[in-house]
Amino acid sequence: MDRKNSLAVIDFGGQYAHLIATKFRNNGYHAEIRNPEDPIELFAEYGGVVISGSPNLSAFGEESGSLSMVLDLPIPALGFCYGHQEIAKHYGGEVIRGKQEFGPATLQIVSESPIFHGIPLKSTVFMSHGDTVCKVGEGFREIGVSFSEGSEPHTFAAIADDTRKRYGFQYHPEVDDSEYGEAMLLNFASHICGLTPDWNVTSSLTERMESIRRQVGDRTVFLLVSGGVDSTVLGELLIRALSAEKVHLLHVDTGFMREGESHAVSEIFRRQCQDHYHVVDASALFIEALQGVSAPEEKRNIIGEAFVTVCEEEMAKLDLSKALLAQGTIYPDTVESGGEKRSKVIKTHHNRVRLMEEMIQRGQVIEPLADLYKKEVRDLGAALGIPRELLDRHPFPGPGLAVRLLASRGETPSFYDPEIARHAVPYLPEGVSATILPIPSVGVKADLRSYELPLMLHGKPLSEITDQFQTTIFSMVPSLVNKVEGINRVLVSLTGSLPRVSPRQVYMDRHRIDLLRRADHMVNTILGEMGLMKAVWQFPVVLVPLNIGEQGREMIVLRPVSTVRAMTCTVPLLPLAFYERCVEALLTLPDVGAVALDVTTKPPGTIEWE
């Protein structure tokens, strides 16, 4: 491999560092992830460097010594967020605290540069930052500013020194929601670094199979299959690379599967693998272990460890204790679980808990898809000849409905302050009220985990909600999440005014799991009947433990999302007739007293609530 024709992406732990390399590779430009500690001589061999964002390195601290040396190399450099601020500072600029921005903003190009070749003067970019560049040094100029609805422009959103070939963007061009972000990356690779695009997916498939054969040697492989896209693709890849003889598959029914899911999974794999396909009903173990638990990370850890316990028991029973365990872990599982050197835990994915990490350390686990995102997994599946209808199913998380079934001790969180809602008033359309709900959920802000409260907008009955109203609400979300401190989600009531609400003391019992399973099934059936499956990437249905009004019923939240790689998301505009059918069906369920639509982008929300 010719490093002169490649890019080095320096990973400072930002949530999207890996995505930068993926975007280049998907377009034929070879790019590799590097640590800041790698030798400076190595960086000197590349055709250019890209500096990622970072969760804990603010540009206020000391400049990283290695970064300073990299910037002194005579190769082109491009930085995002933290990387952008470091470039500004290195050449005499200044960074200030505050002026945060999360989610979409409009980028306005204010000066021409080859990095903006072919890009319209105004476009949407995605932001996730707390600090801001306020001055640049000699040789640099401002080439873009950013603003969101109703706010003052943020200066220095993009800076350039075309002579030194140094560029910085405050936004994240690497995320799919930055409209022309990919084009900007490609401008860097081609116009600034002068690289040639000569990398492709087929060569990566051959390399991947060879690497599996090398890792496995003459051992047997035991694969956990949830029935989702990742494990389906990995199953096929392992069988191709190693032959069916050497692969055993295990499906664990956790009790948190969707209606009919375990049965459907078994249909697919039993046909393909016959007596090498095993199923275990472990629902009693999982549900018992979650009794009385409500904290999201505690739930996730219990679920992950229960997977390991069940898996070890089954391997022992089948006399396969010496086999290697294969997991369909993909890149977001690792990065959001804080698994990369500097990234922070947003949520611990089921395949990244302590017991599993210990097995990985002992060399007992292989994860051949760990550097890929869902989109790349689907592309790989297509290259392996897996039918499109299997690849295009909505992703379903390993912990299943458990992360959509919130539990509560029935206490109001210590950080609950109903007065926060008043800060939302200036941004609200007529006839709409805002209430802070006393139930926190997980989100991601500036590469860090947030655990904050949702802001609920209510007052309009569904019959008065129009497409125009939906669009207005969507466009208000950035202002609300940027201006109202202490919230990480915005919800819109689909059942009119919200009566008095209080936290409801409930846990993960079979009755509530069944209620959520039925609600999830109803929404998905309506989605399918109205031909809308492809209009959303994923559609979590969440059961929220609130006493709604006097009858003390719970709330269902609908969370449709659009995304490509799940590291960011927006909310698709769906027909109102769809929501009308959902609300009508959901209110027939006992214990459901309200239905709301989650309209939060990621960041600052995450796709799942826990």
**Catalytic residue set:** 81, 172, 174
Residue placing its CB nearer to ligand XMP in the complex, 50 or 566: 566
Residue of 15, 538, 547, 601 interacting with ligand XMP (CB under 6 A): 538
Contact 344, 392 (CB under 8 A): no
Interatomic CA distance for residues 573 and 577, integer angstroms: 12
Residue 276 within binding range of ligand XMP, rule CB under 6 A: no
Residue 397 within binding range of ligand XMP, rule CB under 6 A: yes
Q: Mask: binding to ligand XMP, 497-536, rule CB under 6 A, as x and -?
A: ----------------------------------------
Q: Tell me how far, at minimum, the Cβ of 332 lies from ligand XMP, in Å.
A: 5
Residue placing its CB nearer to ligand XMP in the complex, 392 or 584: 392
Q: Tell me how far, at minimum, the Cβ of 569 lies from ligand XMP, in Å.
A: 7
Contact 254, 286 (CB under 8 A): yes
Q: Tell me how far, at minimum, the Cβ of 609 lies from ligand XMP, in Å.
A: 8
Residue of 137, 395, 413, 572 interacting with ligand XMP (CB under 6 A): 395
Residue placing its CB nearer to ligand XMP in the complex, 277 or 539: 539
Residue 97: strand pairing partners: 131
Residues 41-60, interacting with ligand XMP (CB under 6 A): none
| 3-class secondary structure, 28 | coil
Contact 579, 494 (CB under 8 A): yes
Residues 489, 492, 496, 497: is their CA dihedral positive or negative? Answer: positive
Residue 378 within binding range of ligand XMP, rule CB under 6 A: no
Q: Tell me how far, at minimum, the Cβ of 24 lies from ligand XMP, in Å.
A: 22
Residues 312-341, interacting with ligand XMP (CB under 6 A): 332-333, 336
Q: Where are the alpha helices (DSSP H) in 15-80?
A: 17-26, 40-44, 65-71
As given in the structure block, the two tokens for residue 110 are: 């204010």
As given in the structure block, the two tokens for residue 585 are: 């069906």
Q: Mask: binding to ligand XMP, 336-365, rule CB under 6 A, as x and -?
A: x---------xx-xx---------------
Interatomic CA distance for residues 278 and 285, integer angstroms: 18
Interatomic CA distance for residues 498 and 155, integer angstroms: 40
Residue placing its CB nearer to ligand XMP in the complex, 407 or 434: 407
Q: Tell me how far, at minimum, the Cβ of 520 lies from ligand XMP, in Å.
A: 13
Tell me phi and psi for residue 134, to 5 degrees. -120, -5
Residue 568 within binding range of ligand XMP, rule CB under 6 A: no
Closest CA to 12 of 40, 39, 33, 43: 33
Interatomic CA distance for residues 199 and 31, integer angstroms: 10
Residue placing its CB nearer to ligand XMP in the complex, 54 or 563: 563
Interatomic CA distance for residues 303 and 8, integer angstroms: 37
Residues 590-609, interacting with ligand XMP (CB under 6 A): 602, 606-608
Is the N-terminal amide bond of 429 cis, ω within 30° of 0?
no
Compute how many other C-beta atoms are within 10 angstroms of the C-beta atom of residue 357: 15
Q: Mask: binding to ligand XMP, 74-113, rule CB under 6 A, as x and -?
A: ----------------------------------------
Residue 399 within binding range of ligand XMP, rule CB under 6 A: yes
Q: Which residues contact 127 (CB under 8 A, 6 or more apart)?
A: 101, 102, 103, 104, 105, 146, 170, 171, 172
- Pick the piece of the chain touching ligand XMP (CB under 6 A) from 86-94, 305-313, 391-399, 433-441: 391-399
Residues that bind ligand XMP (CB under 6 A): 332-333, 336, 346-347, 349-350, 395, 397-399, 538, 566, 602, 606-608
